[in-house]
Amino acid sequence: MALTHRHLVVSAAIAPLEMRSALRRLEAESGLSTKAFQSALKRIQTERVKWDLVAISREILHSAERLTIDLNIRSLDAIHLACAFECQSRLRRPLPFITADIQQREAAHKLGLGIISVE
């Protein structure tokens, strides 16, 4: 997680929940050992204190609702994008949106967010 040592990480408050859920699914499907699962959970817990997690406000939810219709995206993706767009608007400067999801990347592009794609 060299990224977190060089840059401020801003994400929707749901990010740690989503990470834990994804890791648990991987472990359940034998794609991740129990030891690796526990290590990853510990790393999330340690690193998350350094993250700026954006609260899911009523305004964020309204924006996300519109995005699900306008961009035909999943609800959790819409929440992440609404948070990113709101942060960028408040800071009045471009912020990179990091994603490994193709549909989320396309939606971020349509919103004018700078994108960093990861595999």
Q: What is the pLDDT of residues 46-97, one digit of tens each?
A: 998 888 899 999 999 999 999 999 999 999 999 999 999 998 888 888 888 9
- pTM value? 0.82
**CA distance linking residue 85 with residue 94, whole number of Å:** 9
**CA distance linking residue 46 with residue 49, whole number of Å:** 6
The closest of 57, 26, 61 to 41, measured between CA atoms, is: 26
The closest of 116, 108, 22 to 71, measured between CA atoms, is: 108
Instruction: State the DSSP H helix or E strand holding residue 38, giving kind and residue range, or none if neither.
Output: helix 34-47
- Going by the DSSP 8-state scheme, the letter that residue 100 receives in this structure is S
